[in-house]
Every structure is written in structure tokens, then in C-alpha cells.
Structure 1
């Protein structure tokens, strides 16, 4: 986090403005990945429709902007509220299933949202919608300054990671984690596991909706492609790559994913093949993802000392 805080001046000194965009995108996707990790890593809920929350948050910025409503406070409120409501409705149904059925039903809901927004010709349909002005917070925040926007995303990520840390280490989090290990036993102990898991699902959706609002402001363009199931798959892979059930794992995963993607795409046109092979090797041979690798490395350093 300290390195991320000093990234803008370092990038400016190196005269590599492009990387500021890469790191800003990384921060936004890290918020989305952290929200997914809350239910996937700590709760064992493999949601294959999580990108729908990201899209809902982005459209909560784009649709009001289409009607010349640029209030940032309204955008954030709509993004979080709409994503939370969607999570409540879909989660109430999805969480009555388990395993592969849960995966498939979350993907089905996500694709319903995808095709729903494709059909909205008023807002661009499949072609998407251009956002001509970013969210306006008056004199409080200048969202048009790229460095300021970067730090807004960095502070947002820090707050989200703190919230996730507090949640998973609270009584609430213990029940969610216990339900992942043995839901029947937790129910026998008297915990209403369904309500706990649904609450975690709603919180996760709300956080991802907030990330979507930031993403809409960053790209200044939104489209249904944001909520396609392939985007959900990328979020899952970022979490697994970084390390599930860890606080900073999603950040490591997103950073590695985007940096490797940018480097390989600059080297060869066949970067998708190389990137896919690298990701497969990491999953097969790096147990616990990047967070697990770092944890083992630091443990060995301590033993050596």
C-alpha cells in the first residue's frame, strides 16, 4: 500500500503516464476482487455472475449522466443501493442451492442482466454509452485530475480492505467462515447460516457496485460487456491467483494479472496463449496463490534469522 501511495510521483518522474491508467484500473478491479473474495474465499460461494454488480455500478453513473445529472453523491448512492438490491434478490434465490448449481444460477442471473442491458437501445444497447462528464463532487474532489482520481481509488481500496478485515474477524465473519467449512454443524449450533451468508452476499454486491461506479468514471464509457460471464471469470482468476481467504490476496492477483497482460501484449500478438499457460502453471504449482508464496518466503526468512 505504501508503494501504491508513491506510484504517481514515481510514474511522473519516469514520464510514463500510461502506467498511471494501468494502476488506477488495478485499484478499481482490486476493490471488485476484494468484494468477491469476501464470499468466495471466506464464504465458499463461487459466484460466476459477480461482474453484474460491476456493470450495475457503472450504469448507475452512465444513465443519470445521460440525463445531465452529474452529482457524484447521487451516483455512488445509486450504485451501492442498486447493486445491494440486486444482490438481495438474486442471493435470496441462489443461496438456496449449493455447489455447481450455485455457480450456474449466479451465472444465469449475470447473463440475464447482460442481455437486459443489451436490449436497452435508449442507453446504447450493445454499442454502449459514452459518459461525457465524470461524477461531480463540487470543490471537494476534482475527478478530472488523474492523480486525484488515483488517490480516490487508493483510499477507497484501503477502506474496503479494512472493512473486509473487520468483517471476517468479527463474530459475523466467524459464522460465514464456519458455514464454508460445515454449514450443517453451524446450523446445529443455532446459527441461521442462510441469513448470515445472504448478508455477506449483499455486502459483497454493494462493494462491487461501488467499484463499478469508479470504473464508469475511469473509462468514461460503459457497455453490457462489463457484466459478461467472462468478466466474472477474470475476477475469480484474479482472486485465485492472488490467494483466496486473504486480505491482500486480491490486490496481488489483480496487479499480477494486469501487469503480465500489459507486458506480454507489448511483446507478441500471441500473448493470450502465453498468458493462459502462465496462469495455469501458477494455479498448479503455486499453492495459496501469490499471498501463499510470499507467506512461505517470509517464514523461511524468519527461520533463517
Structure 2
């Protein structure tokens, strides 16, 4: 089996397993996996920047939160909004803010770029935290979930957990496929060149700024999609959706899964969320469950130490161990005088 065929098989089996979950799991499992799939879309948005372009953004939660708040604020009172204009509007607003942030922050590099993106994210956080626009610290509720196909298929409403689950499943699959095609295109090869050696591209007369700005804007739009889906699922938003804690969490997800791989973003999102639920379980840890951050942090440290390339490197461990045994069993060559 070729490497590309193996990658395709892994992704196909993963999405097939997700499609089976609602039919074998209970309501808690469906709700948890729905939330994780939203986080997976969010992780894919940051993977495009960090893993695909080499830009470490520490303000990704701002675009996620803008998508979530736009969903609530654009929904008319007393009537559900149509999903077919609401979702694109939320994506456009998040992408628009990403365009503004990227146009300014991409003029810096390294740690300065990280700090500028964090500063813009904190500005957006305080707008919804300290003004009536976002309801302050209390947040705001979504009056009604948007309608999907009210005229053609009234039974397919996002109020139903199963319908919402498969709609998010489709969004995750479409996002993954779109990014896979994007990274294989000429545009994606340009981003890879920027990640590997941007200075060499500039010396060759290649303008890198428009490519980085386009990648930053696309990443913000995808994060806005994830935020909008999160607001639809929970029916409630608060300023914590724009906090730096969430930006740090999604960065940990893609590092845990393995940078430079879209599959790694999926693995990292699921691993991070499942570990979080595991350490929060009072049935397993009892009173220690309230200190779940400690257990989660130690597990991530051990994982990164043992698997510096993330969970994606697990599949290569048997081959590496076999090569190591073969080298040890091979007789040492005599040194010629």
C-alpha cells in the first residue's frame, strides 16, 4: 500500500467511525463528539497557519469568538434565521477581522508576530466583555437555532441532535477536503516554501506577503465557521470564547497531534478533548478530578517528550524499533588501517 493510499484509508476510516457514533452511543457521547468535531475544525484552521505556513498565531480564539457572537447577534428575535445566509455571514465577519489583523501583524516576525496577534485577540475580548454589545461577562443566548431546509424538509431541523451532528460532520469533512486540496495546489506549495525558507523566496524575487495574508484570512474564516457551529450547538456565547486560554488550547491540540499534518489536527483535537473529559471524571479520580488541569498537563508533557512529532509518529514507531534492532544485530565493521 502506498503512503497516499494509507493516508486516504486512515481519513476514510476515521470519518466512517464518526458517522457510526450516533447509532452506537448515547446522548452524552453524541454531544461530546459533536463538540470535539467543532474543535477539530478549529484546530484545522490553526494548522493551516502553524503547520502549513510556519506562522504561530496566539489570537486564533478571536476569530472563533467573532463567528460565535455573530451567530447570536445576527439571529432575529422571535424567528430562526436561515442557515444559508447566517453561516456565510459569520465566516465573512471572522475572515474580515483576520484580514485586518493579518495586514498589520504580518509586517512583524517571530515573537513580535505572536504578541501582536495576542493583542488583537485581547482587544476583541474586551469589546464583548466590557460593552453591552456582547452582554458583558454574562454572555448572551441564541434565541433560536437557524433553520436548515424548513420548506423542503421540515423534519431536518438543527434543533434535533442527530441532524446537528451530521451537519457538523459534513462541515468537518468539507473543511478537511478543502484544506487538503489547497495545500496540494500551487498556493499550498508557496506556503510550504515560506515555511521552509522565506528569505530564500524573497531573494528569488517572490512576494510572500500576499500569500501569508491570504492564508491568515482563510484560517480566520475557518475558525469563524467553528465558532458559529459552537454557538448553534450550545445556544449560548460568553467572552471566554475569545480568551487567550482557548488560543493556547487549540495550539496544544495541533502540537499534540503533530504539526504539518491535517490528520494530526484531527487526532490532537480528539486526544485533547478526551483527555480533558477523562481527568475531569469523578468516577475515576474522585475528589482529585477538580485538579484535572494537573493531570492533563503532565500527560501532555510526557506525550511531547516521548513523541516530539506528535501522535502522528505513533504509526512509524514499529518501523523505527525494527530498524534499531537490525542495526544492533548487525556486526560491527572492522576499521581498515
- Tell me if TM exceeds 0.5: yes
Give CA deviations for 1:223-270 in whole Å, capped at 9, x if unaligned: 111010110000000010111110211111111111111111113222
- In structure 2, do the counterparts of structure 1 residues 132 and 9 end up closer, same or farther at CA, with 3 Å as the change threshold? same
> Structure 2: how far apart are the matches of 1:214 and 1:96?
32
Aligned length: 300
> Structure 2: how far apart are the matches of 1:295 and 1:56?
39
Which structure has the larger Rg over C-alpha atoms?
A: 2
Q: Tell whether 2:57 aligns with 1:47.
A: yes
Match of 1:280 in 2: 301
| Alignment RMSD | 1.9
TM-score normalized by structure 2?
0.85
Match of 1:56 in 2: 66
> Structure 2: how far apart are the matches of 1:41 and 1:270?
31
- In structure 2, do the counterparts of structure 1 residues 298 and 6 end up closer, same or farther at CA, with 3 Å as the change threshold? farther
2:112 to 101, 119, 123: 101
> Structure 1: how far apart are the matches of 2:81 and 2:49?
32
Match of 2:311 in 1: 290
Give CA deviations for 1:68-117 in whole Å, capped at 9, x if unaligned: 46221222121111011101111011111111001000000000000011
Following superposition of structure 1 onto structure 2, how do residues 1-305 of structure 1 map, counting pairs within 5 Å? 1-11=15-25, 16-65=26-75, 67-68=77-78, 70-139=81-150, 141-266=156-281, 267=285, 268-297=289-318
Does the 8 Å CA contact 1:72/1:137 hold for their aligned counterparts?
A: yes
TM-score normalized by structure 1?
0.93
Give CA deviations for 1:11-55 in whole Å, capped at 9, x if unaligned: 0xxxx3111111000000100100100011111111100011110
> Structure 2: how far apart are the matches of 1:215 and 1:182?
36
Give CA deviations for 1:202-240 in whole Å, capped at 9, x if unaligned: 111111111111000011100111010110000000010
The unaligned stretches of length 5 or more in structure 2 are 1-14, 326-337
The unaligned stretches of length 5 or more in structure 1 are none
